[in-house]
Amino acid sequence: MTGVNLDPAKNILTRIEMSEKQTNGKIKAAYLIPLLQDIQESYGYLPREVLEYVSNFSGIALSRIFGVITFYEQFYLEPQGKHTIKCCRGTACHVKNGQKISDTISEVLKVNEGETTDDGVFTFETVACLGTCFLAPVMMIDDEYFGNLTSNEISKIIKRYKEGGTR
Partner 1 sequence: MSTVNIRINGLDFQAEAGENILKYTKDHEIPIPHLCFDQRLTPGGACRMCIVQIEGRPGVHTACTMNATEGLSIITENDEIRRLRKSTLELILSEHKTNCTSCDKEGACQLQDYAYEYGAAEDKFPSIVTKNSADNYTEGGIAISYDVEKCIRCMRCVKICAEVQQCEALTFMGRSGEAIVSTPFSMLLTDSSCEMCGQCLDTCPTGALYDKEAAGKGRVRKLKLTRTTCLYCGVGCQLDLNVNPQTGKLVKVTSEAGVIPNDGNTCVKGRFGFDFIHRDERLTTPLIREGDGFREASWDEAIELVAKKFSEIKKESGSDSLAGLSSAKSGNEDNYIMQKFIRSIVGTNNVDHCARLCHASTVTGLVRAFGSGAMTNSINEFSNTPVIFVIGSNTSECHPVMGIKIRKAVAEGKTTLIVADPRKISLTDTAHFHLQHKPGSDVALINAIMYTIIDEHLSDESFIRERTENYDSFREAVLKCPPEFAEKVTGVKAEDIRKVARAYAGAESASIVYSMGITQHTTGTDNVLSLANLAMLTGNVGKAFSGVNPLRGQNNVQGACDMGALPNVYPGYQNVAMPEIHAKFEKAWKTELSDKVGLTVVEIMDKARSKEVRGLYVVGENPVLSDPDSNEVLQGLKNLDFLVVQDLFLTETAELAHVVLPACSFAERDGTFTNTERRIQRYRRAVDPVGNSKPDWEIICSIANKMGASWAYFDVSEIMDEIALVTPIYGGINYRRIDDVGLQWPCVDNEHEGTAVLHKGKFTRGLGKFHAVNFMPQKELPDGDYPFILSTGRMLQHWHTGTMTRKSKVLDQIVPKSYLEINASDAGRLGIVTGEEISVSSRRGYICVDAKISERMAEGVVFLTFHFKESPANVLTIAALDPLAKIPEFKACAVKIAKL
Instruction: List the one residue out of 20, 8, 87, 16 whose CA is nearest residue 50.
Output: 8
The answer to the question of residue 2 lying near partner 1 (CB under 8 A) is no
Q: CA 130 to CA 112: how far, in whole Å?
A: 20
Q: Around Cβ 9, how many Cβ atoms within 10 Å?
A: 23
Q: Using the rule CB under 8 A, is 62 a contact of partner 1?
A: yes
Binding of partner 1 at residue 148 (CB under 8 A)?
Answer: no
Is 46 an interacting residue with respect to partner 1 (CB under 8 A)? no
Q: Is 131 in the site for partner 1 (CB under 8 A)?
A: no
Of 23, 118, 152, 165, the one binding partner 1 (CB under 8 A) is 23
The values of phi and psi at residue 90, to 5°, are -75, 180
Cα distances (angstroms) measured from residue 102 to each of 115, 147, 152: 13, 13, 12
Helices (H), 15-87: 32-43, 48-58, 62-71
Q: Stretches 61-69, 87-95, 113-121, 147-155: which one binds partner 1 (CB under 8 A)? A: 61-69
Of positions 2, 14, 19, 63, contacts partner 1 by CB under 8 A: 63
Interaction of residue 32 with partner 1, rule CB under 8 A: no
Q: Which residues bind partner 1 (CB under 8 A)?
A: 22-26, 48, 51, 59, 61-67, 70-71
